[in-house]
């Protein structure tokens, strides 16, 4: 497997920035990894918060054990912070795409 393919696969399939670290571009790799981790933290923290809110409502009897009611509560809980989650999702996707294309460019440029 050549250098370009390996760098692109690391950035695409492992985590954004891994291809840069493998190509010894530590500053850009660390920056991409940091941005991605922050975005993932925001997304996961909100998902866990919604899950905790819904589980507390189920335990208190406020929401019955009905799949459609629980699904509606999840949708409503995630809709409250829709703008923040949407921004974090887009930043993560753009960071991942940038990591793939930039690791390709960097691997092609290096000897």
Q: What DSSP string describes 24-78? A: T-HHHHHHHHHHHHHHHHHHHHHHHHHHHHHHHHHHHTSS-S-HHHHHHHHHHHH
Nearest one of 1, 36, 38, 7 to 105, comparing CA atoms: 7
- Give me the residue spans of the domains in the chain: 3-109
pLDDT in tens, 46-96: 889 989 999 999 999 998 988 999 999 888 888 877 777 889 999 999 999
In this prediction, residue 111 has a pLDDT band, given cuts at 50, 70 and 90, of: confident
Could you tell me the pTM of the whole model?
0.85
Return the structure tokens found at 85.
Answer: 């989650």
């Amino acid at each position: 497997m050549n250098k370009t393919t390996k760098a692109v696969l690391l950035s695409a399939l492992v985590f954004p920035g891994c291809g840069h670290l493998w190509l010894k571009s530590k500053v850009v790799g660390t920056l991409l990894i940091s941005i991605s981790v922050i975005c993932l933290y925001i997304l996961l923290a909100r998902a866990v918060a919604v899950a905790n809110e819904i589980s507390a409502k189920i335990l208190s009897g406020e929401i019955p054990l009905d799949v459609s009611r629980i699904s509606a509560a999840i949708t409503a809980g995630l809709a409250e912070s829709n703008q923040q989650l949407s921004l974090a999702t887009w930043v993560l996707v753009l960071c991942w795409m940038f990591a793939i294309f930039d690791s390709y460019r960097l691997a092609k440029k290096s000897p």
